[in-house]
Structure 1
Amino acid sequence: MPATGPRPSGPTVPSAPRNPNAGDRATGPTPADRHETDFPGWTSCQTGPVTEDRPTTGGDRRKTGRHKPAREYLRDAVGSLLGKRPVREGTRTATEELFFDLVFVFAFVQIGALIISDYTFQGLLRGLLVLALLWWSWGAFAWLTNNLQASFGVMRFGLFVVTGITFVMALSTLVAFVDRPGGVYGPLVFPTCYFLVRSLHLALYAYAVSAKNLARHILVPAVPMVASTALLFCAALVPHRVIADRRQVALAVTLLWLVAVFVDYLGSFTLPVWEIGIFSARHWCERYGLILIVALGENIISIGTSSADVSISWQLLFAVMLAMTVTGALLWTYFDVVALVGEQALGRADPKTRFALARDAYSYLHLPMVAGILLPALGIRELVKNVGRTEGHPDDPLSAIGLFGLYGGIILFLLANVAYQLRIARTIRTIIWTRGAAALVLVALVPVARRISATGALGVLAAVSFVLIVVEVVVADGQRRALREEGLAARMEI
């Protein structure tokens, strides 16, 4: 029976359909909520609605658009330049973030050059300390760009400025510990750039959060950053003025850097600021997957550049193919299933659990994975130089540093990968035990690798990597296929 009440004067707006999968996802502040709370002053670039100008009597009744006044155009332009746009679930990595990541290709190459310039275990430790600070700088902006989109407003300009400063910081890596004659004092450049990058990060976060959370989210995290930067400046200025022996100066500088990294990492771990939040699991996991690809790219660059000035031989080509096999195995180990499962686990978690998982499994446990990818380049460089020599003994075994980089790096990557899986999701237990077993096998093979040629040591490593992949495919084939299909389907739904 038709309704007898009056008909609504305006058109009926149908209600938005409910997402059937909404109950499976984490509950937390929606992007619309964050416009009014966490992101006050957000300005939309959309123009106002088009109005209708109807004549009162007769004439043409066609709709005509009203032109906006100039001040509205100016307001929209200012909003586009100074506004901010929050990240939503399903947001992808912006071009500006990829541009920022390109600097770390150069930074990773510089770390390898720093270690080669002091090819000792102290030089190796210094390279890892530089990596830790560069990683913390990159990770800070991974958190920030998961709250505000990097391709809009102030964030866009801020990230461009940070990219330039980070490049200078990477450029100063080779003089971060020991100055070179001429120019500015090198050991001061790195800590200065580090302080500027971290300060700009906090300033942009202050722009992102509401005023009531300013002290909790900005002032508290600034404490470990300022303390670690002060230690870096102390390492650059104090030891060589109060200690006469050069070896003791080098040791004091290294220890001060070690304490600075410890203070920054431990202080950030204990901060009670989980409300910062991860608003897009896909964007977060994509960022960390891309930085791993950057590290793998540095490995490939090392293979190519180290063979640029040596004679091409069949032995060299064989060694290069073995090195590419190991690099490809690292790529497979992370991206085949583990990355997809991690993204699903992060997407299903509640906001507080999501923060803890992102901090532990990504900010902390991805650092040893990146280090494990970069370290084998030391052994590969040494191997390529050996097999490409026209004189001498191309079948010499690897040095202690080269062997540690080649085998120790892969072992570190596998153990960090296992720890990551145990922290984020224990869904694929069959893959966890195979990777732990592969790490133990490599530890047992280290004495053998010390006695054979460098090519033989790399061949053994490539064989273990290949067997690991085959065993995982055979043992966990059904579960692996189901997890991959589920993970890829979830990505298509976003």
Structure 2
Amino acid sequence: MSTPETPVDVSTDAGEREQSVTPLELFFDLVFVFAFTQVTSFLAHHLTWAGLAQGAALFGVLWWSWVCYSWLTGTVNAEEVMPARLVVLTAMAAMLIVALTVPDAFGDDAILFGLAYVVVRLLHIVLYTVVAPPETQTAVRRIAPGFLGGPALLVVAGFFDGAIQASLWVLAIGIDYGIVFVRGVEGFHVQVEHFVERHRLIMIIALGESLIAIGIGAEEIPRTPTIIGAALLGITLVIALWWLYFDYIVLAAENRLSKETGTDRTVLARDSYSYIHLLIVGSIIFVALGIEQTITHVGEPLGLIPAIAFCGGCGLYLFGHNAFRYRDHRTVSVLRLVVGIVAVALIPVATQVTALTALALLTALFVGLAVYETVWSDHRNRLRSSETGPGQ
């Protein structure tokens, strides 16, 4: 095992040495299972326009904290460096406090939420400056004012409410997300296989949150045939979401990222994964809310906010895919764009028909899209053939 004095071997390009996702990273991600569940629960208890915006903001700060650590652990194998391991585990504990305070992050626990979040982000900067190579340390110092200033504003926001609190949250998120865009990512490095695998795993966590939503929705409801049918439709929709991402989209993205080198690769990784995956993963949180609300009110129409979350989340999922594809390949899937628009167009329908019917319509839409692409999409089949090779 490495000691603090052991030089850390960090490749300048992912092709030189690939590091597998470590058990420490998987363990760290477990706290985000709980955090994402907390966001869905927050939304379920705040079915208002303000609640929808606050839920999106909460997910935004949680997502960015995960993004920061995913870049860090892709640079340094924190499991092999004892001080780094301890810092990551400490950050995990602080992140648990963040998750615990999510339900009242804009109320009585606002200050505690902000303080715990600052600790998570401060430990990230500290770890980078201790174990990262010199050029990455320089890059971290360049963006540190934004990475610490944004979270610090969340603490300040905790002393206010209403419009002032909301404005400070918007400013904090803008600074935090904007600093790496304004000051650039030169000096950071991306190991392609490791980086893509980390995002595959966080997608699984988000999809798992949708399955948890099914259980939460049916927790205190008799297991009638209607509820069982809704649960089966819900898991079918989640399977379709999984299929549409993992069947070939992620393969095309990994191929594209591996073709870039140096700063071009880092910029592409920042845009396609750190930024655009916010839409893809975040949309799943809203879909989870829609599934939970459907099972809870299976025989009634969805309210306007749940309908927007459910249908809008489904549409946003596909819009995120197209943004991902456009950034990587400068093309879009017209079919996915159309299906996304149809999903959003179902919002008024979902407020008139039963929630079960709305779920059935969305499930049919996404399953149909997955089946069509799997059987008839030339783009998909060409890519899958190039991945497996002839005769495999």
* TM-score of the superposed pair, with normalisation by structure 2: 0.93
Aligned counterparts, 1:28-427, within 5 A: 79-80=2-3, 83=6, 84-86=8-10, 89-153=17-81, 154-179=83-108, 186-211=109-134, 214=137, 216-237=138-159, 239=160, 249-278=161-190, 280-387=191-298, 395-426=299-330
| Residue-by-residue CA offset, 1:384-409 (whole Å, 9 max, x unaligned) | 1223xxxxxxx321001110111010
Q: 1:67 corresponds to which residue?
A: none
Q: Please tell me whether Structure 1 or Structure 2 has the larger radius of gyration of its CA atoms.
A: 1
Q: How many residues align?
A: 384
User: 8 Å contact 1:319–1:384 — kept in the other structure?
Assistant: yes
In structure 2, C-alpha distance between the alignment counterparts of 1:337 and 1:376, rounded to whole Å: 22
Pairing partner for 1:467 from 351, 363, 368: 368
Letter in 1 for 2:144: A
Partner of 2:382: 482
Change (3 A) 1:212 1:363: closer
Q: What's the offset of the Cα at 1:85?
A: 4.5
Provide closer, same or farther for how the CA distance between residues 450 and 90 of structure 1 changes in structure 2, counting only shifts above 3 A: same
Instruction: Tell me: CA distance 1:453–1:155, structure 2 relative to 1, closer, same or farther (3 Å).
Output: same
Is the partner of 1:264 in helix, strand or coil? helix
Query: Any gaps of 5 or more consecutive residues in structure 2?
Result: none
Deviation at 1:447, TM superposition (A): 2.6
Show CA shifts across 1:352-371 (max 9, x none).
21111100000000011111
Deviations 1:208-254 (A, max 9, x none): 3445664x3232211112321232122112x3xxxxxxxxx333322
CA contact (8 A) 1:144 1:205 kept: yes
CA distance in 2, matches of 1:210, 1:308: 50
2:146 and 2:175 in contact (8 A); partners too: yes
Matched to 1:194, the amino acid is: Y
Q: Deviations over 1:27-82 (max 9, x none)?
A: xxxxxxxxxxxxxxxxxx5xxxxxxxxxxxxxxxxxxxxxxxxxxxxxxxxx4465
Deviation at 1:126, TM superposition (A): 0.9
Q: Is the 8 A contact 1:112 1:378 kept in 2?
A: yes
Distance 1:141 1:366 in 2: 15
Once the two structures are TM-superposed, the CA of residue 262 in structure 1 deviates from its matched residue by 1.2
- The one-letter code of the counterpart of 1:304 is G
Distance in 2 (CA, whole Å) between partners of 1:92 and 1:487 is 20
Q: Secondary structure at the match of 1:327?
A: helix
Q: 1:190 to 1:223 in 2, by over 3 A?
A: same
Cα distance in 2 for residues equivalent to 1:286 and 1:323: 26
CA drift of 1:90 comes to 3.0
Shift of 1:195: 1.3
Q: CA deviation at 1:173?
A: 1.0
Give the root-mean-square deviation of aligned CA atoms.
2.0
Q: 1:96 to 1:436 in 2, by over 3 A?
A: same
SS of 1:221 mapped into structure 2: helix
Q: Greater CA deviation, 321-330 or 85-94?
A: 85-94
Give identity over the alignment, percent.
33
Counterpart of 1:483, as a letter, is: L
Q: What one-letter code is carried by the residue in structure 2 that aligns with 1:404?
A: I
Taking structure 1 as the reference length, what is the TM-score of the superposition? 0.74
Q: Out of 187-196 and 405-414, give the one that drifted further.
A: 187-196
Do the aligned partners of 2:312 and 2:347 also contact (CA within 8 Å) in 1? no
What do residues 392-430 of structure 1 show as CA deviations (whole Å, max 9, x unaligned)? xxx321001110111010111100110001111357x6x
Secondary structure (helix, strand or coil) at the match of 2:74 reads coil
Question: Corresponding residue for 1:72?
Answer: none
Per the alignment, in what secondary structure is the counterpart of residue 145 of structure 1?
Answer: helix
- For 1:146, what is the secondary structure of its paired residue? helix
Which residue of structure 1 lines up, in the alignment, with residue 356 of structure 2?
Answer: 455
- Listed one character per residue, the Cα deviations across residues 137-183 of structure 1 (whole Å, up to 9, x for unaligned) are 1101111111111321132222111111111111111221111xxxx
Secondary structure in structure 2 of the residue aligned to 1:452: coil
CA distance in 1, matches of 2:384, 2:54: 39
| Closer, same or farther: CA 89–423 of 1 in aligned 2, 3 Å | farther
